[in-house]
Amino acid sequence: MKRYLATALSLIMMLSLFAGCGISDLSLVSGTGTGDVRTDIIIGTTSDVVSPDPHKQNDTASGKVLHMLYDTLIVMNGDGEFEPCLAESWENTSDTEYVFHLREGVKFHNGTEMKASDVKFSIERCMQSAKTAQATDSVDYVEVIDDYTVKIVTKYPFAPFYSTVASSTKVSILPEEYVKECDAKSETAFQEAPVGTGPMMYDSWAPNNYFKVVRNDNYWAGEPVTTSVTIRVIPEATSLTIALETGEVDIVESIQAVDIRRVKDNPDLKWLEQVQGSVTYLGMNYAKEPYNNTNLRKAIAYGINRQSIIDVILEGNGQILNSVFPPMMPGYDDSIEGYDYDIEKAKHYMAEAGYPDGGLSLEIATSGDERNRIAQLIQSDLSKVGIDISIELLEWGAYLEYVGGTDHEMFILGWSNAYEPDGNMFDTFHKDRPSTTNRSNFRNDEISAKIEKARQELDWTKREKMYKELQQLIMAEPVWIPLFAKTAVIGMNRGLEGVEFEPITQFTYVNAYVNE
Instruction: Flag whether 96 is in a domain.
Output: yes
Domain co-membership, 353 together with 408: yes
Domain co-membership, 203 together with 303: no
Residue 117 region, left (φ>0) first, then alpha (ψ -120 to 50), else beta? alpha
> Does an H or E element contain 252, and which?
strand 251-252
Instruction: Flag whether 3 is in a domain.
Output: no
Instruction: Flag whether 11 is in a domain.
Output: no
The tens digit of pLDDT for each residue in 267-303 reads: 999 999 988 888 999 999 999 999 999 999 999 999 9
Radius of gyration of the chain (CA): 23
Domain that residue 31 falls in: 26-67+198-268+494-515
Instruction: Flag whether 16 is in a domain.
Output: no
433 confidence band (pLDDT: 50, 70, 90): confident
Report how many domains make up the chain: 3
User: Per mean pLDDT, which range of 65-69, 126-130, 131-135, 259-263 is the poorest?
Assistant: 131-135
CATH number (domain holding residue 456): 3.10.105.10
Q: Has residue 417 got a pLDDT over 80?
A: no
Domain co-membership, 232 together with 334: no
Domain co-membership, 373 together with 397: yes
Instruction: Flag whether 187 is in a domain.
Output: no
Instruction: Flag whether 21 is in a domain.
Output: no
Nearest to 60 by CA among 418, 410, 357, 344: 418
Using CB atoms within 10 Å of the CB of residue 414, give its burial: 0 to 12 exposed, 13 to 18 middle, 19+ buried: middle
Average pLDDT over every residue of 468-491: 95
Decide if 503 contacts 274 (C-beta within 8 A): yes
Average pLDDT over every residue of 307-312: 96
Domain co-membership, 452 together with 324: yes
- Mean model confidence pLDDT for the chain: 90
CATH number (domain holding residue 252): 3.40.190.10
Instruction: Flag whether 174 is in a domain.
Output: yes
Domain co-membership, 315 together with 454: yes
Domain co-membership, 139 together with 229: no
Domain co-membership, 85 together with 165: yes
Domain co-membership, 427 together with 354: yes
Domain co-membership, 361 together with 403: yes
Point out which residues pair with 29 in neighbouring strands.
Answer: none
The tens digit of pLDDT for each residue in 376-406 reads: 999 999 999 999 999 999 998 899 999 999 9
Residue 350: strand, helix, or coil = helix
Query: What CA–CA distance (Å, rounded) separates 357 from 410?
Result: 21
Write the DSSP assignment of 469-496 as a string of letters. Answer: HHHHHHHHTTSEEEEEEEEEEEEEETTE
Domain co-membership, 88 together with 128: yes
CATH number (domain holding residue 124): 3.90.76.10
What are the contacts of 165-168 at 24+ separation with CB within 8 A? 165/72, 165/73, 165/74, 166/19, 166/72, 166/73, 166/74, 166/75, 166/76, 166/82, 166/85, 167/76, 167/419, 167/420, 168/72, 168/135
Instruction: Flag whether 4 is in a domain.
Output: no
Domain co-membership, 104 together with 36: no
2 confidence band (pLDDT: 50, 70, 90): very low
